[in-house]
Amino acid sequence: MSDDNPPELPPVEGRKSARKRVILRGKVIYNEGVFTVDCRIRDISEGGARILLPEGQVIPTRVILLDMRDRLAYECAVAWARGPEYGLKFLQKYSLRGELPPALVYLKGFA
């Protein structure tokens, strides 16, 4: 007996790189370090991350995300927001162990 329905295909994901589920401590920084918010990094890929903020916390559309474990800083644009979760698109990546552009040297004080 043959089945006339084609097999169901898995959903197509819009990411260009694989997402890795993690639970990392992070910080969202904006206004040149004037404001910081602790967060949890829940998923991360080469192109972005999903973060969890404290309930009721909001952030602007451009931020710096610090990965406290790996001492990495990402310049980010907010791609989406759903309640306390935010999707961030990485625009640039920096190691806090190396040289930073002059405008971002203040980040060394957070790591």
Q: What is the pLDDT of residues 18-69, one digit of tens each?
A: 777 888 999 999 999 999 999 999 999 999 999 999 999 999 999 999 999 9
Contact criterion met (CB below 8 Å) for 61 and 77: yes
- The CATH number for 81's domain is 2.40.10.220
- The domain tally of the chain equals 1
| Average pLDDT value for the chain | 87
Residue 28: strand, helix, or coil:
strand
Q: How confident is the model at residue 12 (pLDDT cuts 50, 70, 90)?
A: very low
Q: Which domain holds residue 56?
A: 20-97
Structure tokens that stand for 95 in this block:
């190691």
Q: pTM to 2 decimals?
A: 0.81
Tokens 């295909």 belong to 9
